[in-house]
Amino acid sequence: MSEDKEKIISEAVEKALQGDMDTINNIEDRVTRSKAKAALVKAKRAKVVSDEDSTKEDNASESKVEEKINFNQTLCKKISEKFSDSIDGDQNNDWIQLKPENWLKIAKWLKSDEELFFDSLQCNTGMDLGEGVLESRYNLHSMKHLHKVEIRIKVSAEKPDIPSVEQVWRVADWFERETYDMFGINFIGHRDLRRILLPDDWEGWPLRKDYEEQETYHGIIVPKVKEGWE
């Protein structure tokens, strides 16, 4: 069956699932029209089956999502009560946006406070949000209370300074080195901030969106991105 006909059928089925039967009925070729109707029946059956299963799980996951949102909001309030002027911008249900200045103190408190007890930093991701804004995201998790939170800190690319938390969670030592290596975020107070995956004399911050490879490295030509690479 040719590609056009497939396309016509899938478009018609989509529209029909949303309630518009005209597109199917207007297909001129009889064979194609019957195929479209068969596909519609199959899709509806699949949707019914998945709807039944998913309603149960939807309830379960909805309550989980609600718990998480509540926890996030309470945590946000706690942080803004204890450390004034740390929440950056508007709050969100999935993560907490902080300002870089008080991060070390907040981190120490998050780890040592009995109710929160975030004793493991799962992952630290660097992010280039474009327009000269870098971000460092921390996923924290508590092995005791089994709750988790994501904390994001934004900095500008001209002065990317974030306090280092490697004294609090020792795993942050290498995670921050990697973020420094890839994005150039400078972690203040890190005892040994140097490149980890790239050679020490590499120039540039590779994972930034405006990264240009250097021409040569010790005399070896660095290949640019090839054309037609997908």
Partner 1 sequence: MGVVHGQEMVLNIGPQHPATHGVLRLQVKTDGEIISEITPYMGYLHRCFEKHCENVTYEQVIPFTDRCDYLASMTMNFGYVVAMEQLMEIKVNDRVEYIRVIMAELQRIASHLLGIGAFGLDLGAFTPFLHMLRDRERILDIFEMTCGARLLYNYMWVGGLSHDLPTGFVEATLNFLDYFEPKVDEFENLLGHNKIFVERTADIGIMPAEVAISYGVTGPNLRGSGVKWDLRIDDPYSIYDRFDFNVPVGKGMKGTVGDCWDRFYVRIHEIRESIKIVRQAIDQLPKEGDVHQAMPKKIRPPKGSIYRRTESPRGDLGYYIESDGSDTPYRVKMRSPAFTALSVLNEIGAGWLMSDVLGILGSLDIVLGEIDR
| Bridge partner list, 139 | 123, 150
Distance CA 213, CA 205 (A): 9
Q: Does 122 bind partner 1 (CB under 8 A)?
A: yes
Q: Does 73 bind partner 1 (CB under 8 A)?
A: no
Q: Does 201 bind partner 1 (CB under 8 A)?
A: no
Q: In angstroms, what is the minimal distance from the CB of 211 to partner 1?
A: 8
> CB-wise, 143 or 220, nearer to partner 1?
143
Q: Does 174 bind partner 1 (CB under 8 A)?
A: yes
Helix 3-17 vs helix 30-82: crossing angle, to nearest 10: 60
Give the Å distances, CA to CA, from 212 to 148, 168, 203, 217, 225.
37, 35, 10, 13, 10
Per-residue tokens: 90:
């508007």
Q: Does 75 bind partner 1 (CB under 8 A)?
A: no
Q: Which of 43, 75, 87, 198 touches partner 1 (CB under 8 A)?
A: 198
Q: Which of 39, 139, 163, 186 touches partner 1 (CB under 8 A)?
A: 139
Q: Which residues contact 171 (CB under 8 A, 6 or more apart)?
A: 120, 121
Q: Does 145 bind partner 1 (CB under 8 A)?
A: no
Q: Does 39 bind partner 1 (CB under 8 A)?
A: no
Helix (H) or strand (E) holding 187: strand 186-188
Q: Name the pairing type of β-strands 96-98 and 148-156.
A: parallel
Interface contacts to partner 1, rule CB under 8 A: 10, 46, 50, 53-54, 57, 94, 119-123, 125-128, 137, 139, 143, 146, 150, 169-171, 173-175, 182, 195-199, 206-207, 225, 229-230
